[in-house]
Amino acid sequence: MNRPDGEAVKLLVDSLRIYSPTKGEEELAGFLADSMKRLGYSRVRLDGAGNVVGEVGKGKPRLLLCGHMDTVPGKLPVRRTREAVYGRGAADAKSPLCALLLAGARAADAGVRITFAGATEEEGDGAGVEQLANEAAPYDYAVFGEPSGADRITIGYRGRMSLRVVVRTPGGHAGSPWAHRSAFDEFTSILSRLREYEAGHLVQDDHFRSVSISPTLVRAGSYQNVVPGLCEATFDVRLPPGLSSAQVLGEIRPMVEARWGEVRAELNPGPPTEAYEADVGSRLVRAFQRAILLRLGKKPSLVRKTGTGDMNTFASRKGVSCLTYGPGLSGTSHTEEEAVRIRDYLDGIEVAREAIGQLVTMSVG
């Protein structure tokens, strides 16, 4: 392995050795700041959300490269074989993070003004990308780091909305359930109505363009022989492009909220994230497609994922052309076998570097 490749792998391995769960990214931010300065980034700093930010290159267009520093909880041993690197974040998403950081440094002379950001709390409430989206800095394009593989470009994520449902009834003695309304039974009726709504927004064999409604937390009852008088539940709702959170909330609310007799049901939504799908004909997408063909000799794949990412928040807030790209075995994300193939990681760096150059060529042309 030649020296640049060896240094690239060392950067990744060293970052994996720093445990950085959500809200615990400070040590990794310091490590990345030092690495960025060594690689030629200027104005390296920490912002109000704890993001590490730096700039490299000059000219137009202006490009944001953003990966997230945090991982899900749970330390894992870092190990390297001839083929792969393992450890917490090896897939999600320190290999994309390091790949974008290095690609930016290697494209310093491409004629692009590049801002790199290592963002906080992607696995949490998204405070890092919120800070970046709220800043006045103008960008023409943005690339976010998540694992899919060096020959795959993620152009879409569904939106997300969290709903908290609270159902209250008087409850009563379990020995005479016919005489008392159960908050849990009322909740199951609400769940049935939401399942009907979900079925009405199903696109056959296309989860990306379908609505999904998943109860993730349910709590009811206070004692073994008492009919529950309180049921609290949280739903995770995923939204396809073309269907706004406001529209879905407006349609769901009447199915949930009710006041009949002694039954009370309330719906409390959390902050929504809108769906995003990139224009496949955009310069940014075409630049990455060309880069994959040139660097890997492979036909690039365009991927639409059913989850939600930082790209959604940034694109909807800034109106900027975005995509998500990065190496890593995405199927191992959040597992005890998180991994990235070394060849995939090194290819990802070169594809991203080439794509930046292609973006300049297209902009000038």
- Point out the catalytic residue in the list 55, 92, 122, 354: 122
Among candidates 61, 27, 63, 65, which has minimal Cα distance to 46?
A: 27
The two structure tokens encoding residue 57: 């290159």
Q: Is 186 a catalytic residue?
A: no
| Residue 47 parent element (H or E) | none
Do 239 and 197 touch, CB atoms closer than 8 A? no
* β-bridge pairing 152-157 and 301-305: parallel
Q: What is the DSSP letter of 139?
A: -
15 three-class SS? helix
Paired strand residues for 324: 144, 154
Scored b (16 or more CB within 10 A) or e, 161-173 reads bebebbbbbebbe
The two structure tokens encoding residue 135: 């800043």
Do 61 and 140 touch, CB atoms closer than 8 A? yes
Q: Find the DSSP H helices in the chain.
A: 3-16, 26-38, 94-106, 127-134, 183-200, 245-256, 283-296, 310-318, 342-364
Q: Is 198 a catalytic residue?
A: no
Among candidates 59, 38, 35, which has minimal Cα distance to 357?
A: 59
103 three-class SS? helix
- Give the span between the Cα atoms of 30 and 235, in whole angstroms: 37
Residue the block writes with tokens 């998540």: 146
- Point out the catalytic residue in the list 70, 151, 338, 347: 70
- Give the span between the Cα atoms of 184 and 166, in whole angstroms: 10
Do 137 and 63 touch, CB atoms closer than 8 A? no
| Active site members | 70, 122
